[in-house]
Structure 1
């Protein structure tokens, strides 16, 4: 039985490796032309990021850039810090967010407001906690030109510091490389095979507007995926690329923040489907938590001098290799792969808590706002 079980896990590993071949990697490329690009960033209570964000933007080497920053009713020193560090740089436009209208999610409305002000040929939406390589914009525009896409997005590199970050944040890459059929995602217009990360989304402005922009998904709290699906629904090509060499995202500043951030997205991200959520909980318990239990069981029997099968160790080793391969692809610390059973267990609990919160209509709290 353990041989069959290990064989199934080995198939998962091999599929992950094969699937990764259909994820194009952002790399240094020559521009065919130099279209104008606007970088648009909503900020709400982002005083910890304001200074470094502005300095990073000023270091970008793309020759035709404009920056639109929206202070979305921040209650801290975000705006004053932005004004100080922007100085007299005329490439920057600092906007003020207004009261959130009924029926809109906060970030979606902020991005919509930003899009109304930008007239450039390409629109790049970033989060305030993103840091770009100086040549990131050049290479992203070149890839979009080369592939003939309307939207280029990708999951950034995620440096992690806190325990819950280490267990949960790298799981974003794991879900993409393992669960998303990347051939369908990148080479078809099949909406269910879609993933995106709102921290880095580069649009051709014309295609963005034709698809309805952020206004078309105004109530979404999983706006990145829903907007990418909207692009496909309207016949636009979406590219999901490995951008980890050029885009870094410092998502959270504590384990609690990481937990709350994922809690608001995970169940809505599964379409609020109970069958999907329960199926994934069972799947991860069987294939990504149980190997850790078997490994501990084998260790205990080994030191107790009792007979045991070496196959007790194989399932754990295989899931570690699978996670390690994905961590290598995504520029993550390879040491985190050894804690995969803990990541699986945390992911299960997170799914259940997110589902429970939604079913009890308690709402998800984020950035001082509550979403249903």
Structure 2
């Protein structure tokens, strides 16, 4: 039985390594076939702590054909003041004031909808306020889109994980993609079920974006990034999920409470609010990723040393993902705790949904 269990973990490791081969990285030296105008669009709600670093990234961009449009989405902190002070008259920037959130719309989706209405670019790059990027990131993304003939490029950045709960939950985003998503289907077919996207970094060809109805087509979605990517595929356009971690970084949360609240609103919605899938994930991760360290301890004390191998192989899987996504290698040893935290937030999110309780984020509530 243990031999089969070890064999399954070896298969998981091999699968992750092979799956990663279909995830293209941003080119180190981008070569552009054309230099269209790119509109970089940033929704901001209560983001005063992120303004300075983001604006620095935008100002340092090496791509000259860009405009930067920022929407202050009815912030109650000093986001507006920080924007005005940091931008300091740079005419590449435009600051918009967000309108009242309409009934049924999700706040970020409505902010993105307003941003695209003010954009002049041939390409629209939606960027979250907590993202930082290297000077060539915009042209790298554009070059990969041109090379792949894609109408949407998206990817998950490298993550700066400060709070302890962030160290557990945030790196699992990369693991889930490389383990559960058949990336060949995601990047080389129009199969909608095999689709992943990340609203922190989404570059659209403008004409295709408008043909699918833009963000208005997913106005009520808490996982609008995935749903809008599916719309792109449904209209016959190409989506490319890329490894952007060498050029784009993000610090999603500063406190454990923020981590929990942020994952709570997306976890159950991200699996289509399927109780069956949730139960399946709970059983799967409990058996294959939470159980191994207990088997390893038993093996150490009983002399059955090969019982350590399942835990070692889970660490190897996690380490490989961390290596290719520019994450801290030592976090791989926390894979049992990471899996347990992921299941805990999934159960909490499912419980809220089944009880018809609302999710909260930045002072707004969503069902």
TM-score normalized by structure 2? 0.99
Alignment-derived partner of residue 304 in structure 1: none
Q: Deviations over 1:195-253 (max 9, x none)?
A: 01100000000110011100000000101101111100111100000000111011000
Asked if 1:11 corresponds to 2:11, the answer is yes
What is the 5 A alignment of 1:31-70?
A: 31-70=32-71
Contact 2:296 2:305 in 1 (8 A): no
Deviations 1:277-308 (A, max 9, x none): 01001000000000011122233x1xxxxx43
SS at match of 2:330: helix
Residue of structure 1 equivalent to 2:229: 228
Rounded Cα–Cα distance in structure 2 between residues aligned with 1:349 and 1:335? 22
Corresponding residue for residue 72 of structure 1 = 73
**What residue number does 1:353 align with?**
348
User: Residues of 1 paired with 2:215 and 2:297: CA distance?
Assistant: 48
1:140: how far off?
A: 0.6
Q: Determine which of 333, 336, 342 is the counterpart of 2:331.
A: 336
**Residues 70 and 96, structure 1, Cα contact 8 Å, conserved in 2:** yes
Q: Secondary structure at the match of 2:204?
A: strand
TM-score (norm 1): 0.97
Aligned to 1:108: 109
Q: Is the 8 A contact 1:3 1:311 kept in 2?
A: no
Task: Write the distance in 2 (CA, Å) between the matches of 1:175 and 1:55.
Answer: 31
C-alpha deviation, 1:330, in angstroms: 0.3
Gap runs ≥5 in structure 2: none
CA RMSD, 1 decimal: 0.8
Displacement of 1:24: 0.4
CA distance in 2, matches of 1:95, 1:161: 31
Deviations along 1:150-190, whole A, 9 cap, x unmatched?
00000000011211111110000000000000000000000
Structure 2: distance between partners of 1:65 and 1:106: 25
Matches of 1:82 and 1:166, distance apart in 2: 30
Q: Please state whether the residue corresponding to 1:328 is helix, strand or coil.
A: helix
Query: Structure 2: how far apart are the matches of 1:108 and 1:308?
Result: 56
More divergent stretch after superposition (45-54 vs 270-279): 45-54
Structure-to-structure mapping, 1:267-306, within 5 angstroms: 267-299=268-300, 301=301
> In structure 1, how many angstroms separate the alpha carbons of the residues matched to 2:166 and 2:197?
20
SS at 1:95's partner residue? strand
Matched ranges for 1:61-210 at <5 A = 61-210=62-211
1:2 alignment counterpart = 2
- Cα distance in 2 for partners of 1:47, 1:319 equals 39
Instruction: After superposition, give the CA deviation of every residue in 1:55-96 in whole Å (9 maximum; x if it has no partner).
Output: 221100101110100000000000011011111111111000
Aligned residues: 366
1:17: how far off?
0.5
1:219 aligned counterpart, secondary structure: coil
Distance 2:228 2:218 in 1: 7
Distance 2:167 2:299 in 1: 26
Distance in 2 of aligned mates of 1:197 and 1:211: 18
TM-fit CA distance, 1:32: 1.1
SS at match of 1:197: coil
Q: Secondary structure at the match of 1:152?
A: strand
Does structure 2 retain, via aligned residues, the 8 Å contact 1:211–1:234?
Answer: yes
More displaced stretch, 340-349 vs 172-181: 340-349
What is the rounded CA distance, in whole Å, between the counterparts of 1:69 and 1:3 in structure 2? Answer: 56
Match of 1:310 in 2: 305
Task: List, as ranges, runs of 4+ consecutive aligned residues in structure 1 with deviation greater than 6 Å.
Answer: none
